């Protein structure tokens, strides 16, 4: 299944990671993206099937260009937890090329190269890939999807990052939010198109391909941009963040519980069908939904604190079609609950009682 989850922790009321293990087990989610290398989380998920992308924050980019400091970081943050915990990728920086701190841009590739070099020296470069997550703002053109191109002013950085991906085999991570497109142009963007709801869709005149949702069009636009840069189809694209807020400010149209349930619920059903985009129909879409929990300490508009599928006490914000179980707090099931999943959750609960 190509479904993963972003496990953000900018909050003061989240359940202990040891209990989140059971929640994700009941959701049958085995891919998690962290924004750091939290040792408590990585320890809690040892001997599970969960694969982790761990984050290396923008504030570390300067230090990570130094091989000595990069090696020290890996020895401290990665080595103690493998192979018991499955760390498969390190995301160096987040949305660096579209951020406000332009001094970080020339540091991105050297930091990625240095981390990769240390992993290679340790014999881990095939087990743990190195990448970075970009905002959708790195694209100059995104519509129609076949006309996708990267921003000209970023080419000096993007070209070398793409070369790095092509050589190392690491995925290209993109944070893609149809919500932002709708929020910025509610009069022009079809809400049904953004939410995977029935709509007339749009046809790419150059390819004849029909798109019935914005996210898949965005993904294919990224693939087109990579091809336009001369890298062909050698680089795999993953959606490292996508989601829809259940609450927002007055100037955030569409940020409602109903729309969040439709977006994430419809997305999850599409992912479960193992389908590809119109441009790559034989290749399942890989998506990390943002986010697992509402995070009450995130700065910015109200929406930033309301992307979670779950409240911190473990109850669902809405029914996205996933069944979930957080021991000691809640037992929630969708209409598709099966006997085997109920048994699994019961056994997990008994195990938790034995552990505590």
Assess contact for 93 and 132: CB atoms under 8 A: yes
Of 51, 95, 304, 337, which is the active-site residue? 95
Using DSSP, state whether 72 is helix, strand or coil. helix
Measure the CA–CA gap between 269 and 267, rounded to whole angstroms. 5
Instruction: Name the nearest CA neighbour of 320 among 279, 250, 259, 268.
Output: 268
Token reading at 7:
């496990």
Assess contact for 97 and 158: CB atoms under 8 A: yes
Q: How far from each other are the two terminal CA atoms of the chain, in whole angstroms?
A: 32
**C-alpha of 171 from chain center:** 12
95 tagged catalytic: yes
241 tagged catalytic: yes
- How many Cβ atoms from other residues are within 10 Å of residue 210's Cβ? 11
Of 51, 59, 188, 241, which is the active-site residue? 241
Burial of 123 (0-12, 13-18, 19+ CB in 10 A): exposed
Catalytic residues: 95, 241
């Amino acid at each position: 299944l190509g479904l993963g989850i972003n496990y953000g922790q900018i909050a003061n009321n989240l359940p202990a990671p040891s209990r989140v293990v059971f929640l994700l087990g009941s959701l049958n989610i085995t891919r998690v993206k962290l924004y750091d290398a939290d040792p408590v989380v990585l320890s809690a998920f040892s001997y599970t099937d969960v694969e982790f992308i761990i984050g290396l924050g923008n504030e570390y980019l300067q230090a990570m260009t130094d091989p000595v400091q990069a090696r020290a970081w890996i020895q401290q943050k990665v080595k103690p937890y493998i192979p018991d915990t499955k760390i498969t990728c390190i995301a160096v920086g987040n949305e660096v090329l579209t951020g406000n701190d332009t001094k970080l841009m020339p540091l991105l590739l050297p930091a990625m190269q240095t981390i990769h070099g240390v992993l290679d020296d340790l014999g881990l470069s095939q087990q743990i890939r190195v990448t970075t997550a970009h905002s959708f703002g790195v694209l100059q053109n995104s519509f129609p999807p076949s006309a996708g191109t990267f921003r000209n002013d970023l080419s000096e950085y993007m070209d070398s990052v793409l070369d790095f991906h092509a050589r190392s085999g690491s995925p290209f991570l993109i944070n893609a939010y149809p919500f932002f497109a709708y929020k910025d142009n509610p009069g022009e963007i079809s809400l049904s198109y953004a939410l995977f709801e029935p709509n007339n869709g749009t046809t790419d005149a150059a390819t004849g391909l029909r798109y019935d949702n914005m996210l898949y069009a965005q993904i294919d636009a990224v693939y087109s941009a990579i091809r336009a840069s001369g890298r062909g189809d050698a680089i795999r694209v993953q959606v490292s963040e996508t989601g829809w807020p259940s609450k927002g400010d007055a100037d955030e149209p569409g940020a409602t519980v109903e729309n969040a349930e439709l977006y994430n619920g419809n997305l999850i059903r599409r992912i479960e069908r193992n389908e590809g985009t119109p441009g790559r129909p034989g290749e399942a879409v890989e998506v990390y939904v943002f986010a697992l929990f509402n995070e009450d300490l995130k700065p910015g508009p109200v929406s930033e604190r309301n992307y979670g599928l779950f409240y911190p006490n473990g109850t669902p914000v809405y029914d996205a079609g996933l069944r979930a179980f957080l021991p000691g707090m809640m037992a929630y099931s969708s209409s598709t609950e099966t006997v085997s999943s109920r048994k699994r959750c019961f056994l997990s609960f008994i195990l938790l009682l034995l552990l505590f």
